[in-house]
Amino acid sequence: MKPQLLQALSLLLIPSVYGAPASRSNEGNPPLRGPQSLIGYSESNTITDKSTDEGIKYTLVPGQKDDADDGIYFDFETADNPQLIRGSTGGTDPGPRNEYYDRINSDKLAPPGTDEGQTINAQWPMGLSHNRLGKDGSGWARQENTVVMPDATRMAGVDMRLEAGGYRELHWHVAAEWSLVLNGSCRIQAVNENGETFVDDVSEGDVWFFPPGIPHSIQALDTGVEFLLVFDDGSFSEDNTFLASEVFAHQPKEVLAKDLGVPVAAFDDIPEDELYIFPGTPAPKDIQEQNVTTSSGQIKGYSYHFSEQPAHEVAGGSVKIIDPVSFPVANNFSAAVVTVKPGGMREIHWHPTSDEWTFFIKGAGRATLFSAPSTATTFDYRAGDVGYFPQSNSHYIENTGDGDLVFLEVLQADKFTDVALGQWIASNPRQIVQDTLNLSNKTISSLKTEKQYVVAGSSPTSIEN
């Protein structure tokens, strides 16, 4: 048989790479794949003459045509089709695009001209974290760690909610746990390695700390509670804690009976699976009913009623600091709750001994992370977002909303410290500053040798045209 005839028969019997012969039911329907004649140049190729700008209608917000290095914040939330334009740079975007993300991340869409390259990803919205739901409507938990922020290696965080009466099961973990109560109230309990017991009720603004390996539990009071947990290991996962239910489930019952001095039948009804977050009997109003005292006595140092500490007022807002100087048991956790008034800014600073893990509690803000020698990226943050700024990398946090901005800074340090850009420059000999930065005498004279923490500013510009 001739080779040409064999090839023709094979095309009839074997499905082609570019689509099998059409069956009668598919007559007129194009095959799944096109012919090889579409590869590369052909005189029959057609090129569209439709402009990609056709139909794009937009309105620039105030300041959008100003010099890109001015870096003015753009509020795109109510803008008409925000575009990737800043000063003379950028251009239009015909799509596809996720306009919602563009609107709330204007400094990604149209970054300041002072940005350069790409730093680490210093932003993670907890709203994008997978939620772990508690049993029978008892609460939930979501976390941030190196799975979602690979460069946040020193600390990880968990946002947890317990409904009234809900428990975070008796447990312990390898990492140290530092917590800030975001709202509501709860009862916390622990027993340390010496057999000393601890119980306390904490409310919004209060802090607790449990060292590694110390077993503890948390139960929401009648108000319910939401709290933030920060751990001293960026790879920490809430899914890998040591739970009482799992400890009992994975010991031979004969061993449990021998260890606790009870019959094997005592364990017939222990949980078959972990509880983690679950509903429970409401805690008694009188905390003394749960104040177990052993021969070892009690320990009182695992909580700090930070809510009762007055804030230190500054020009642009306020600062509250808690660190081992005032809360010794948390020997490597230092933190500040910072409030920035509209138009104000947490001054440009860096932490010489620690990374900074930041949680945004209220409002909207932005920060530029600067990494040596010349990389800078600006990020926009909302309530519920996590920020992360590596050791000695400078940054500020500016209030970009029309209400107060409140956030938490956490360090792995035995004292809360930072270096402020303004104080550093102001504290140098004038001639050195002039020779280096070409600043005028008038400008240098206006600099402050005292740390400002938060500087005041004018309210954000209206987005109306």
Q: Binding site membership for Mn(2+): which residues?
A: 171, 173, 177, 216, 349, 351, 356, 395
Distance, CA of 121 to CA of 367 (rounded, Å): 12
Contacts of 74 (CB under 8 A, 6+ apart): 61, 63, 64, 82, 86, 106, 107, 110
Distance of CA 259 to the CA centre of its chain: 43
Known binding residues: 171, 173, 177, 216, 349, 351, 356, 395
Closest CA to 135 of 326, 257, 274, 340: 274
- Which residues lie below 8 Å from residue 13, measured CB to CB, with a gap of 6+? none
* Calpha distance 368→69 (Å, rounded): 13
- List the one residue out of 416, 397, 418 whose CA is nearest residue 347: 397
**Residue appearing with tokens 């001015």:** 70
CB-CB neighbours of 141 under 10 Å: 21
Whether the bond between 373 and the residue before it is cis, its omega within 30 degrees of 0, is yes
Q: Compute the distance between CA of residue 212 and CA of residue 296 in angstroms, rounded to an integer.
A: 20
Task: With beta carbons less than 8 A apart as the criterion, state whether 448 and 388 touch.
Answer: no
Q: State the amino acid at position 25 in one-letter form.
A: S
Indicate which residue of 144, 169, 398, 409 is catalytic: 409
* Cα–Cα distance for residue pair 115/111, rounded to 1 Å: 7
Question: For the purposes of burial, counting CB atoms within 10 Å of the CB of 19, is it exposed (0-12), middle (13-18) or buried (19 or more)?
Answer: middle
Cβ partners under 8 Å of residue 239, min gap 6: 132
What SS3 state is found at 109?
helix
Q: How many CB atoms lie within 10 A of CB 361?
A: 19
Q: Is 409 a catalytic residue?
A: yes
Q: Amino acid identity of 89? A: T
> In one letter, which amino acid is 366?
R
Catalytic center residues? 409
